[in-house]
Amino acid sequence: MPSLNYRHLQYFWTVAREGSIARAAKVLHVTQPAISAQLQKLEQQLGEPLFVRAGRGLALTEAGRTAQKYADEIFGLGHELAETLRGRPTGKPMRLTVGVTDAFPKLLAYRLLAPALNMEPPTQLVVHDDRPERLFAELSIHEIDMVLTDSPLPATAPVRAFNHLLGECGITFFGAPSLAEAYAPDFPRSLDGAPMLLPTEGTTLRRSLAQWFDDAGVRPRVVAEVGDSALLKTFGQAGIGLFAGPSAIEPEIRRQYAVSVVGRADEVRERFYAISVERRLKHPAVLAISQAARESLFTARRRPRDRKQDEPAAPDGVAVEEVVEA
C-alpha cells in the first residue's frame, strides 16, 4: 500500500467529527467538492468505504470507525508533539520504556530506575524483563528506550546502539544467617566445598566468579544454577546455598532477603550499562538515572588495573561513560 496521505486523513477526520461534508468544509475553509475528492482518494487507497448516507448527513462504516480511532490517536499525538516542542505541558506523563535483562540484579534495577519516578513532570515507567537478545531486538525497532544489562552490547546484536557505563562495584557473598555463620570464618578459603548458588553458564558474573574461585584456590559445591537474579536470591534466602550480589546494594540485599554477609570480593568487578540507540543520552528520565548512578549508587574509585587503556580516569564519585558503537 502507498504511503498514507495525511491531508486525505485530516479531511476524513474532520468529516467524521462534523457529521457532514458541508460542515467540514466550513471548518477546513475549503470547498465541498475538494473534500469529496479527497475522501474518494482515501477510500480508494484503503480499499474500503468509510461513510454511508444517513438522512441528510453521513455515518461511519465499520472500516470508517476503525479509521477514526487511528486518526484520533494520530492527530492527538501530533498536537501533543507541537505543544511539547513549544514547551507547554500536555498533562500527560512522560513515558520511559526500559528493558532489564534477566540476569540483571532486580534490586539494583529498582535503585537505578527510582530517580525517574521522582521527576517533575512525572514519568510513566514501563519495564520489560527478558532475555538480552529479545530486548535488543525491541531496542532496534524503538519499542523500548534503553536496556539495563551487566555486559556491553555484543557485536552480533541486531541493533546499532551504544553502551553507557553507569558504574561498577565489587561483589559480596551472602547466605541465610545459619549458613553465613558457618562459612564466614576463614573466608574465602571457607568457600571450598560450600553450597553455592550460581548464575547460569554464559553470564558475565558466572565467568567472573569462576575465574575468582580458581585464583582463590577454592571449589564450591554448586547446588543450583539460576538465570533470574531475584529467584536466585530467593533460593539463598531459603538457605539452599550461598550467593553473590553487587556490593553497591549490599544493605538492600541483606534487608530484602534477611541474609547475612559471608565475605566480600572487591577483585570481582561487576559493570552495569544502559544501552540506547543514542550516542549521547537525551531522554530526561535516562539522564536522571545516569546522574543518580554516578553521584550516589556507584561512588567507589575505580582501580587503575580495571580501566581499559583508552578510558580516561574517573574522579572520586564519578563513573566514566563508556560509549561504544555496536
Pick the closest to residue 260 from 250, 247, 270 (CA basis).
250
What's the average pLDDT block by block, 10 residues per block, for the chain (326 residues)?
78 89 88 90 90 86 91 79 57 82 91 88 87 87 88 80 91 97 96 96 92 96 94 96 96 96 95 88 85 80 37 32 42
Looking at residue 133, what is its pLDDT? 86
pLDDT of residue 272: 94
Phi, psi of 152 (to 5 degrees): -65, 160
* pLDDT value of residue 85: 59
| C-alpha cell, 22 | 458541508
* 3-state secondary structure (DSSP) of residue 37: helix
Q: Centre a 10 Å sphere on the Cβ of residue 107 and count the other Cβ atoms it contains.
A: 19
pLDDT value of residue 313 = 32
Predicted pLDDT at 74: 86
| pLDDT, position 77 | 77
pLDDT at 143: 83
The whole-number pLDDT of residue 306 equals 37
CA distance 150 to 103: 8
- Which residue bears the cell 499525538? 77
Domains along the chain with CATH numbers: 6-85 (1.10.10.10), 94-167+271-306 (3.40.190.10), 169-270 (3.40.190.10)
Please tell me the pTM assigned to this model: 0.63
Q: What whole-number distance in Å separates Cα of residue 27 and Cα of residue 22? A: 9
Per-residue confidence (pLDDT) for residue 123, from 0 to 100: 83
Bridge partners of 225, per DSSP, are 198
Angle (nearest 5°) at CA 205 between 300 and 304: 35
